[in-house]
Homo-oligomer: A and B are copies of this chain.
Amino acid sequence: MSVESWIAEQKNRLIEDLVTFLRFPSISAQPAHRADLHRTAQWLRVQLEALGFTVSLLGDPPVVYGRYDGPTGAPTVLFYGHYDVQPPDPLEAWTSPPFEPRLTDEAIYARGATDDKGQVFAHLAAWRYLQQQEGRLPVSLHVVIEGQEETGSEVLYEVLAGQGQAWRSDAVLVSDTAFFSEEVPTLTVGLRGLLYTEIRVRGPARDLHSGTLGGVVENPALALARILVALKGPDGRIRVPGFYDRVRPPDAQERALWRSLPACESYYLELTGAPELAGEVGFSPLERVSVRPTLDVNGLWSGYTGPGSKTIIPAEAAAKVSMRLVPNQDPERIWEAFAAYVREVAPPGVTVEVERLHPPAPPFETPTDSPFYKAAEEALRVAWGKAPIPLREGGSIPVLSALSKAAGGPVILMGFGLPTDALHSPNEHFRWRQLWGAVKALTYWYKRVGSLPK
């Protein structure tokens, strides 16, 4: 049976299983959801065991590890994905609850639909098809699905450190990235690195009456604003000393490719809904989101945030500030320069602390000349009817460098999301066309790779 016919026949069952997967509120950032992470991992264990994998859950929250011994002489693939999701806040901005999947003709809406449960599920479906049709999978597999991708992969780093040669593979396959657009199938060849920090400013020992004592102390919220403003100029340039020292300029071939894409201003205006674009002067929007580093405030809080007025000078203020890094920036050097600079620009009258919330994620690049990459090009051509383009993506998969080192083979970033999927945002979704296309492309890829000489 062709994969198309099989999908048509199995669709209700497949959707039912995906809905179950999406219902788990597996929010790794929030300690209250620790048990949900375990439940999700247990569900994945059952799925993988049914497909013939030998499964172990490693650490807490567990890394789901599944081992499958394929035909003698077939290559070994390390599949990496994650079952944890971003916090769903702000809840009031969701049309339907984030953990009660909503199905429309076009897409499935839920936190994690595209990042990354929906994409992990495409692999489960492809494996199910291959098992049912051929009685076995065409390759040997290390399946690694972790529960902390959104918060720093602490457990997976530990597991990796203890693996030695056990996870050596001929290639690593990851589906946690996106096409440029629905009409432009894409293979991701680079990811930005991530440095995520929290800055805390403390002033008076307690909230003060802003009338009685307004005038004699520095306001911590204003002091924090001064620090944030010192981090990035109105020209979009980050002012941390040495920040741009090692940034590699884009090469001529890449620039030529970008010029062929409809990545004009109106494209990004529509994608973001911002009143106008902004960013680093001297670079096109596509360059700014892919080969240029950025700095963003991800969260900010101080004092009274309820309705109406409260007349206080807050005792403290804090911000979450993160940077995306590009080749060849070194996260450790940038972190040290950042922390020193924040302390230096803090105004008198407050104390300031700066902390890293994540292990550092270096920027990542992958080669395009391996047979595994060529197989991915073919797979997308088969499923979408046109050749994919190679593109860098602005996001990060922090653990990828360590994972790639442990596996030894090239990393294939064959992701099926779309920039319009609202990942990390309210109303995240995954389009059916992308999901079923993914199952078709992945089925092709696993079979094609299975026939490669070992």
Residues of A near any B CB (own CB < 8 A): 28-31, 86-87, 89-90, 93, 150-152, 178, 191-192, 194, 196, 202-219, 221-222, 224-226, 228-229, 231-232, 234, 236, 268, 271-280, 285, 288-289, 292, 294, 296-315, 317, 319-320, 322, 324, 347-351, 357-358, 393-396, 419, 422-427
Q: Which of B214, B236, B280 contacts A296 (CB 8 A)?
A: B214
Q: Once the chains bind, are A285 and B216 in contact (CB under 8 Å)?
A: yes
CB proximity of A394 to chain B, nearest CB, Å: 5
The smallest beta-carbon distance between A260 and chain B, in angstroms, is 19
* Known A228-B225, A309-B29, A347-B234: A426·B206 in contact at CB below 8 Å: yes
- Of B214, B278, B307, B324, which one neighbours A394 at CB under 8 angstroms? B214
Which residues of chain B are near A427, meaning CB under 8 Å? 206
Contact of A229 among B86, B218, B225, B278 (CB under 8 A): B225
CB neighbours of A393 from chain B (8 A): 211-212
Q: Is the CB of A30 within 8 A of B307?
A: yes
Task: Give the CA-CA distance A205 to B90 in the complex, in Å.
Answer: 13
Cβ–Cβ < 8 Å partners of A150 in chain B: 309-311
Give the chain B neighbours of A208 by CB distance below 8 A: 272, 424-425
Q: In the complex, are the beta carbons of A151 and B309 less than 8 A apart?
A: yes
Smallest CB–CB gap between A26 and chain B, Å?
A: 14
Q: Report B-chain residues with C-beta under 8 Å of the C-beta of A222.
A: 228-229, 231-232, 296-297
Q: Is the pair B303, A297 in contact by a Cβ cutoff of 8 Å?
A: yes
Main secondary structure of the interface of A (DSSP, over half): loop
Q: Could you name 18 residue pairs across A and B whose Cβ atoms are closer than 8 Å?
A: A29-B307, A150-B311, A191-B211, A192-B211, A205-B273, A209-B424, A210-B322, A211-B394, A215-B294, A216-B279, A216-B285, A216-B289, A221-B297, A275-B350, A276-B349, A298-B310, A301-B302, A308-B357
Instruction: Check if B307 sits within 8 Å of A216, measured CB to CB.
Output: no
Q: Which residues of B contact A221 (CB under 8 A)?
A: 228, 297, 299-300, 319
What B residues does A317 contact at CB under 8 A?
300
Asked whether B351 lies within 8 Å of A275 as measured between CB atoms, the reply is yes
Q: What separation, in Å, do the CA atoms of A292 and B211 have in the docked complex?
A: 11
Residues of chain B lying within 8 A (CB to CB) of residue A348: 276, 278
Q: What residues on B are CB-neighbors of A306 within 8 Å?
A: 29-30, 87, 89, 299
How close is A42's CB to chain B, nearest CB, in angstroms? 23
- CB-CB under 8 A for A289 and B425, given A278-B348, A349-B274: no
When the two chains form their complex, are residues A310 and B423 in contact, meaning their CB atoms are under 8 A apart? no
Q: Which residue of B89, B310, B357 is within 8 Å of A320 (Cβ)?
A: B310
> Smallest distance from the beta carbon of A271 to chain B beta carbons, Å?
7
> In the complex, A426 Cα to B271 Cα: how many Å?
44
Residue of B nearest to A205 (CB): B273
Q: A210-B298, A300-B317 are in contact. Are A215 and B280 (CB under 8 A)?
A: yes
What is the CB-to-nearest-CB distance from A229 to chain B, in angstroms, rounded to a whole number? 5
Taking a contact as CB atoms under 8 Å apart, the answer to whether A314 and B294 are in contact is no
A426 to B289, CA, bound (A): 44
9 further contact pairs, Cβ within 8 A, besides A30-B306, A215-B289, A299-B302 = A29-B307, A30-B308, A206-B427, A207-B424, A214-B294, A297-B302, A299-B303, A304-B320, A310-B424
B300 touches A312 (CB 8 A): no
Chain B residue nearest in CB terms to A178: B212
Nearest B-chain residue to A286, judged by Cβ: B216
Contacts of A296 in B (CB 8 A): 210, 214, 219, 222, 313
Q: Which of the residues B211, B294, B307 comes within 8 Å of A396, measured between beta carbons?
A: B211
Q: CA separation between A271 and B206, bound complex, in Å?
A: 10
A304 to chain B, nearest CB (A): 4
